Amino acid sequence: MAKPADTKTATSRKPAKGTRSAAETEKIRAALAGRRDELQAEYDQTLSEITELQRERLTDSAGDDQADTGTKTFEREQEISLANGILDRISQVERALERLDAGNYGWCERCGNPIPVERLAAFPSATLCVTCKQLEERR
Ligand SMILES: [Zn+2]
């Protein structure tokens, strides 16, 4: 192979890695935005449930013994950690959207292949493609 020709094609060739079509980027953005809305709704729902349950607890806590109080505290902690878990996922999605804008989101960290849109929608924090993820888990 002629060397000068090789370098010429290498510089003019469109890089296979690091580019996605605008349509695909939009698809990912829409998927992530949809996910964020879903999570936001879930979070709002959880918060209103916490508020509701808290109100119930306050109104019927008159006859509570210590065990009841302990159970209720535990339940409340569970709900709060659930709500916090949703918040974490929301911020993951928001970080993903920022990285998408910066152009460095959605690429497998191991093989550099684009991660399918469907996978990104289901796991916004995914940094590996399915194949690499499976390899990782098998180790
Ligand atoms: Zn990969």
pLDDT in tens, 32-79: 999 999 999 999 999 999 999 888 877 876 677 778 888 888 888 898
CA 21–ligand 1 middle distance (angstroms): 19
CA 25–ligand 1 middle distance (angstroms): 18
Res. 2: pLDDT tops 90: no
Radius of gyration of the chain (CA): 24
pLDDT digit string (tens) for 88-132? Answer: 999 999 999 999 998 889 999 999 999 998 899 888 889 999 999
Residue listed under structure tokens 């098998």: 138
Q: Are 107 and 117 in contact (CB under 8 A)?
A: no
Residues 6+ apart with CB under 8 A from 25: 100
Using pLDDT thresholds of 50, 70 and 90, give the confidence band for residue 15.
very low
CA 92–ligand 1 middle distance (angstroms): 20
- Predicted local distance difference test score (pLDDT) of residue 57: 78
CA 10–ligand 1 middle distance (angstroms): 23
CA 95–ligand 1 middle distance (angstroms): 21
- Predicted local distance difference test score (pLDDT) of residue 8: 44
